[in-house]
Structure 1
Amino acid sequence: MKNLIENEEKQERVLLVGIETFENEAYFESSMQELSDLTKTAGGLVVDSFTQKRDKPDSRYMIGSGKLEQIHWAIEVGEIDTVIFNDRLTPRQNVNLENALDVKVIDRMQLILDIFALRARSHEGMLQVEQAQLTYLLPRLVGQGIALSRQAGGIGSKGPGESKLEMDRRHIRKRIEDIEKALKKVEQTRETMRNKRTKSGIFKIGLIGYTNAGKSSIMNALVGEDKEQYEKDELFATLDSTTKMIKLTDSFTASLTDTVGFIQNLPTELIKAFKSTLEEAANVDLLIHVIDASNPDHEIHEQTVLKIMKDLDLEKIPVLNVYNKMDKAQSDFIPTLSPAIQMSIKSREGAQWLKTGILEKLHEMFEHFELQLSYSKAYQLPEIRKTALIEEIIEEEEGYQISGLISKNLMWKIDNL
Structure 2
Amino acid sequence: MRQDDEAVSTDGHRADPASDAENTEALEREALRRIASLSTELEDISEVEYRRIRLERVVLVGVWTGGSAAESELSMTELARLAETAGSVVCDALIQRRNRPDSATYVGKGKAGELAGIIAAHDADTLICDGELTPGQLQALERIVKVKVVDRTWLILDIFAQHARSREGKAQVQLAQLQYMLPRLRGWGEAMSRQAGGIGTRGPGETKLESDRRRIRDQISRLGREIKDMSAARETQRRNRRRHHVASVAIVGYTNAGKSSLLNRLTDADVMVADELFATLDPTVRRARTSAGQEYTLTDTVGFVRHLPHQLVDAFTSTLEEVRHADLLLHVVDGADPDPAGQIAAVREVLQEIGAQDLPEILVANKADLGPSGAPPEALGVSARTGAGIEELNERIATELQRSLTEVRIVVPFDRGDLVSDLHDHGQVRSVAYLENGVALDVLVPRWLYAQVVPFLARDGG
**TM-score normalised to structure 2 length:** 0.76
Alignment RMSD: 3.0
Residues 69-121 of structure 1: CA distance to partner in whole angstroms, max 9, x if unpaired? 22111111110110000011111111111111110101000000000001101
8 A Cα contact 1:17 1:51, kept in partner: yes
Q: RCO (CA 8 Å, sep 6+): is it higher in 1 or 2?
A: 1
Structure 2: any 5+ residue segments left out of the alignment? 1-47, 409-423, 431-442, 453-462
Paired letter, 1:42: A
8 A Cα contact 1:322 1:343, kept in partner: yes
Matches within 5 A, 1:94-109: 94-109=138-153
Give the direction of change, closer, same or farther, for the CA distance of 1:405–1:265 in structure 2 (3 Å limit): same
8 A Cα contact 2:188 2:209, kept in partner: no
1:185 matched to 2:235:
no
* Post-superposition offset of 1:13: 0.7
* Post-superposition offset of 1:6: 9.4
Paired letter, 1:155: I
* Identity across the alignment (%): 41
* Post-superposition offset of 1:7: 9.5
Matches within 5 A, 1:1-400: 8-22=52-66, 27-225=71-269, 228-249=270-291, 251-330=293-372, 333=373, 335-336=375-376, 338=378, 340-366=379-405
Single out whichever of 182-191 and 116-125 deviates more from structure 2: 182-191
Paired letter, 1:244: R
8 A Cα contact 1:325 1:343, kept in partner: yes
* Post-superposition offset of 1:9: 4.6
8 A Cα contact 1:285 1:317, kept in partner: yes
Give the direction of change, closer, same or farther, for the CA distance of 1:171–1:24 in structure 2 (3 Å limit): farther
Give the direction of change, closer, same or farther, for the CA distance of 1:365–1:178 in structure 2 (3 Å limit): closer
8 A Cα contact 2:104 2:140, kept in partner: yes
Give the direction of change, closer, same or farther, for the CA distance of 1:47–1:310 in structure 2 (3 Å limit): same
* Post-superposition offset of 1:5: 6.0
- SS of the aligned residue for 1:300 comes to helix
**TM-score normalised to structure 1 length:** 0.84
8 A Cα contact 1:132 1:270, kept in partner: yes
8 A Cα contact 1:152 1:162, kept in partner: no
Give the direction of change, closer, same or farther, for the CA distance of 1:146–1:180 in structure 2 (3 Å limit): same
Structure 1: any 5+ residue segments left out of the alignment? 370-383, 391-403, 413-417
* Post-superposition offset of 1:364: 4.5
- SS of the aligned residue for 1:161 comes to coil
Single out whichever of 137-146 and 115-124 deviates more from structure 2: 137-146
Residue aligning to 2:24: none
8 A Cα contact 1:151 1:162, kept in partner: no
8 A Cα contact 1:27 1:300, kept in partner: no
Structure number with greater Rg is 2
* Post-superposition offset of 1:337: 5.9
Alignment: residue pair count? 380
Single out whichever of 93-102 and 26-35 deviates more from structure 2: 26-35
Paired letter, 1:362: L
8 A Cα contact 1:201 1:410, kept in partner: no
* Post-superposition offset of 1:349: 4.1
